[in-house]
Amino acid sequence: MPRIQQLPTNVITKIAAGEVIERPASVVKELLENSLDAGSTRIDIDIEAGGSELIRIVDNGHGIHPDDLELAFSNHATSKLMTADDLFAVRTMGFRGEALASIAGVAQVTLQSRPTDEQVGAELVSNGGDLSGVRVWNGASGTRIEVRHLFFNTPVRRKFMRTASTEMGHICEIFTRIALAKPGIHLTLKHNGKNVYEVSSTMDLLERIGLFFGKEVRDQLYAIDAQQGPAHLFGYIADPGCDRGNAKTQYLFLNGRWIRDRSLGHALQEGYRGLLMTGRYPIAFLFLEVPPDQVDVNVHPTKSEVRFRDAGALYTFFLATVRNRLNAENLVSRLQAPAQPSANGGYFTPRPADATPSLFSKPGFPTFTKNPVSSVVNSPLSVASDIAPSGQLLDSNVATEEETTDEPVATDDGPRATDARPELPEVLNAIQMHNTYLVVETADGMLVIDQHALHERILFEQIKARVREGSLDVQQMLIPEPVELSAEQAALLLEHRKDLDALGLSIEDFGGNTVIVTRYPALLDGRSPAEILKRVVDHLMSKERVPTREQLLSDLMSLMACHAAVRSGDPLTPEEIAALVEMRHLANDAHHCPHGRPTALLFTRQELDRQFRRI
Ligand code: ADP
Ligand code: MG
């Protein structure tokens, strides 16, 4: 029988560090917060090798008294909290008194500090928790802390660290959050001696947003400012046209601290209801101020989640504020305006030559070969549930997405999935409906095909074949186009450079957070390289885990196929309809559908007869 024993302090510290210090960015976060709590007006950060070699933070705050240096490195030692009641009146970033102890336990740390009103300061070194004696230190007033060889004594953790550029991306994200939350403070960030960001104290929030997210975002923001009872909400929300494929560009700060809140995130999304396609997210920079007794910040080790006393009221407040602001821009009516009536009756009528680009004019449009494979039609029962998660990459128009989502799920009486069919039925007739669906009469029923989904499928197969043969057409840029990104995005893209290259999308590091596009797949002609790149980056960032190379290739191929395919809303010529219908077997191939969404529904003659009570 194992006996119980008290754990030694160094083990306790490592366990605690496991919660607070997950990666180099966590160290940067904790140290920056300490510098802020010390009233610093300038903070300089130096990183080496993504933080695995060195994280150095120098501030001009009030410093630490020499007699307190050892305490600073011990667990549950803090100058920010005295009694349990103080927990409900927290006005500082830190209060748990465990960050420095945790960091000191898993790295080699030198802490040097001189209080503003002292002539000399002191320094203390921790080697994985073993402390040197306190020595005199004669540096500038403020605090200087160097963290070297993070996780040197916890090899498992060290192995979990990703490439320097990825870790640096996370650090940049932390830096961005602090810089947005604390205008008025001068902040600099260097990586391997090179300047990454310099944010001067005079730059206001809008300028900071411009610095981190580019002019495109900055120029499409609407300011909001609203008060409800003691709650004050202010900041910016972006025009729905400037949306993203994930929620990462939604920043919420509570009393000056970046937080994540599902409920308020949902309220924001609801505020944009009807203005965004499924799977698209608004950009927002929101600051919420509530009295400290209205919120419990002590529910999460890194304090990134909180509990509000009246979460329901805040939700309504959020939603109403966002909605009203968007209403004021008349965005809602703009979107709900009736769609342009189609010029084309839909039934094999030729359309003017200047209408939407022809299916055939798209570079790389497949040459059709008849390929009578057996097929399975996706079950209509999967329609509703398939759309939400996979809709992310799909670009069909809003009305269509909404209609499809809102449509009642087919019941037992609805169209049925059929079993594998031995041969493709002969097509008797095909028409386009709502510029979106192809309705095909077959000998034994009726097939309704989603034109975008089918074309996308066809292109996907073709791209796959071309990538395999290495014969994908690429477009060399005469003048390489610079694309400005966030540091995290740039790092992520550069990390996947080889895979992108295999798809004909070549990028190079241009310094700063700018990446230049030198080549892109000809199939994507007509789309701006910036747009393509942002799609790719959104896609990469939406993944929880690092995709394998195969997954990534497949994802990117479907992204390309999606981009190049005809959209819902594009009128098609009879030839185009015929060409698509010719390839309809692909619509039925549930297994390889790039997004897992059904591309066709089959209504058998028998089913129709039964519905109309003929049999
Ligand atoms: P907490 O921030 O939760 O109090 P930490 O472990 O992060 O706990 O820090 C312990 C204490 O060390 C702080 O309460 C503060 O008094 C002191 N301290 C840490 N960093 C600094 C700094 N940069 N400037 C001044 N004091 C600091
Ligand atoms: Mg702290």
pLDDT in tens, 45-84: 999 999 999 999 999 999 999 999 999 998 888 888 778 7
pLDDT at 287 over 80: yes
pLDDT computed for residue 172 by the predictor: 94
**From the CB of 166, is ligand 1 less than 6 Å away?**
no
**Of residues 40 and 344, more confidently modeled:** 40
Q: How far is the CA of 497 from the centre of ligand 1 (A)?
A: 40
Give the position of tokens 């290259």. Answer: 501
Q: State the average pLDDT for the chain.
A: 78
Cα of 325 to ligand 2 centre, how many Å? 37
Task: Give the whole-number percent of the chain exceeding pLDDT 90.
Answer: 37
Give me ligand 1 centre to Cα 38, in Å.
8
Identify the residue whose C-alpha is closest to ligand 1 atom 1.
Answer: 97
Q: Is the pLDDT of residue 356 over 60?
A: no
What is the share, in percent, of the chain residues with pLDDT greater than 70?
80
Distance 256 CA to ligand 1 centre (A): 18
pLDDT at 417: 34
| Residue 421 reports pLDDT greater than 50 | no
Q: Please report where in the chains the tokens 């929880």 appear, as a residue.
A: 544
Q: Which of 360, 342, 363, 362 is nearest to 351 (CA)?
A: 342
Nearest ligand atom owner, CA of 35: 1
Contact 61 CB / ligand 1 (< 6 Å): yes
Taking the C-alpha atoms of residue 125 and residue 73, their distance in angstroms, rounded to an integer, is 10
**415 three-class SS:** coil
CA distance 583 to 593: 14
**pLDDT of 440 over the 70 cut:** yes
Q: From residue 512, how far is each of 47, 125, 173, 489, 526 by CA, in Å?
A: 15, 34, 15, 12, 27
Ligand 1 contacts CB of residue 297 (under 6 A): no
Q: Which helix (DSSP H) or strand (DSSP E) does residue 137 occupy? A: strand 135-137
- Provide DSSP, 512-569: TTEEEEEEEEGGGTTS-HHHHHHHHHHHHHT-SSPPPHHHHHHHHHHHHHHHHSPPTT
Specify the higher pLDDT residue, 275 or 102: 102
**Closest-lying ligand to the alpha carbon of 77?**
1
DSSP assignment string, 319-380: HHHHHHHHHHTTHHHHHHSPPPPPSS-SSS----TTSS--GGGSTTPPPP------BBPPPG
Sign of the dihedral defined by the CA atoms of residues 286, 290, 296, 297, in that order? positive
Q: Cα–Cα distances in Å, from 213 out to 285, 287, 308, 483, 485?
A: 11, 17, 30, 11, 7
Quickly state the pLDDT bin for 181 (edges 50, 70, 90): very high
User: What are 337's two structure tokens?
Assistant: 């305006």
Highest mean pLDDT among 118-127, 352-361, 414-423: 118-127
Matching residue, tokens 């500082």: 92
Q: How far is it, in rounded angstroms, from Cα 85 to Cα 293?
A: 10
Give the ligand 1 atom nearest the CA of 98.
6
Cβ(64) – ligand 1 distance below 6 Å: yes
pLDDT for the residue numbered 488: 82
The listed range with the strongest mean pLDDT (307-316, 340-349, 382-391, 482-491) is: 307-316
Instruction: Write the pLDDT tens digit of every residue in 297-335.
Output: 877 777 788 999 889 999 999 999 999 999 888 764 343
Expressed in angstroms and rounded, the spacing between residue 34 Cα and the centre of ligand 2 is: 5
> pTM for the complete prediction?
0.62
Are 522 and 506 in contact by the 8 Å Cβ rule? The answer is: no
Residue type, 196: V
Residue 391 pLDDT: 26
Query: What's the average model confidence in pLDDT over 546-556?
Result: 72
Instruction: For 449-495, write each residue's pLDDT tens digit.
Output: 888 888 888 888 888 888 777 777 888 887 888 888 888 888 888 88
pLDDT > 60? residue 361: no
Among all ligands shown, which has an atom nearest to the Cα of 80? 1
CA dihedral sign, ordered 581, 585, 591, 594: negative
Which carries the bigger pLDDT value, residue 546 or residue 490?
490
Nearest CA to 431 among 577, 604, 576? 577
Task: For residue 279, count other CB atoms closer than 10 A to its CB.
Answer: 20
* Among the bound ligands, the one closest to the CA of 58: 1
Q: Please, what's the b/e burial string for 519-547 (b: 16 or more CB within 10 A of its CB; e: otherwise)? A: bbbbbbeeeebbebbbbbbbbbbbeeeeb
Atom of ligand 1 nearest to the CA of 101: 6
pLDDT for 238-273, tens place per residue?
Answer: 999 888 888 989 999 999 999 999 899 999 999 998
| Range with the poorest average pLDDT among 23-27, 114-118, 229-233, 337-341 | 337-341
pLDDT given for residue 25 in this prediction: 96
**CB-ligand 1 contact for 144 (6 Å cutoff):** no
> Could you tell me if the CB of 80 is within 6 A of ligand 1?
yes
- The residue among 256 and 595 whose pLDDT is bigger is 256
395 or 587, which is more confident?
Answer: 587
Q: Is the pLDDT of residue 605 over 70?
A: yes
- In this predicted structure, what is the pLDDT of residue 558? 79
pLDDT of residue 5: 87
Q: Is residue 412 scored above 50 in pLDDT?
A: no
First and final CA of the chain: distance in angstroms? 74
122 in Cβ contact with 71 (< 8 Å): no
Give pLDDT tens digits for 113-126: 999 999 999 999 99
CA dist 534 and 542 (Å) reads: 12
Quote the pLDDT of residue 410. 33
- Residue 38 near ligand 1, beta carbon < 6 Å: yes
